[in-house]
Amino acid sequence: MSKSFNDSVTEEIKSRCNIVDVIGQVVALKRMGSNFKGVCPFHNEKTPSFVVSEAKQIFTCFGCGATGDVFEFVKKYYNLDFPGTVEKLAREYGVEYVNNYKEDGRKELYYQINKEAATYYLKAFCQKSNPGLTYMLKRGIQPVTLKKFGIGYADGEWDSLYRYFLSKTLM
């Protein structure tokens, strides 16, 4: 019988995996008393400030402040969302897991809307005289750099983007 995300999959994963083993796959850990210590994978450091507690099944970095359980470590280290983290750990530790998340098909639409809004603000920044562009030019930042980083400008009107999208739908 397969478990869904809403069942006790996370508890099953926690019972099967040891945080020291999971983190130890990517961070060299040395026993220091009852804990393990290593160099933090989330920031540059020379002196180890990353501590893993096997008893508590948590990690803490006293340098950058990163902390959490095995799920938080995997999520942060591998740059995953929570369902992706659960899926990865379930696969590695033999926990049957079915991700019931269904995409509604609007993701591409949202990306297009976001891209169109970014283009609108970029054009407002680079094609019209405005305080933002004046300031950037005074600082010596060239328009080509602003375009490369997608810097935009929102005027003082609260509904400019809304009106822009309305005009596009009426065409």
Residue type, 39: V
- Judge if 24 and 90 occupy the same domain: yes
Residues 101, 5 contacting (CB under 8 angstroms): yes
Select from 76, 98, 120 the last residue of a domain. 98
Residues 88, 73 contacting (CB under 8 angstroms): no
Query: Residue 73 burial by CB count (10 A; 0-12/13-18/19+): exposed, middle or buried?
Result: buried
- Judge if 118 and 76 occupy the same domain: no
DSSP letter string, 50-76: EEEETTTTEEEETTT--EE-HHHHHHH
- Judge if 78 and 112 occupy the same domain: no
Instruction: Output the CA angle 160-161-165, nearest 5 degrees.
Output: 120
Select from 98, 121, 149 the last residue of a domain. 98
Q: How far apart are CA 28 and CA 47, in angstroms?
A: 13
pLDDT digits (tens, 9 = 90+) for 123-170: 888 887 889 989 999 999 988 898 888 899 998 899 999 999 999 877
- Judge if 112 and 90 occupy the same domain: no
Instruction: Output the CA angle 132-136-142, nearest 5 degrees.
Output: 130
- Judge if 113 and 166 occupy the same domain: yes
Task: Decide: pTM greater than 0.85.
Answer: no
pLDDT cut 70: percent of the chain above it? 92
Q: Quickly count helices (H) and strands (E) in the chain.
A: 8, 7
- Judge if 133 and 166 occupy the same domain: yes
What residue numbers bound the domain in which 60 lies?
A: 3-98
pLDDT at 140: 94
- Which CATH number goes with the domain that contains 72? 3.90.580.10
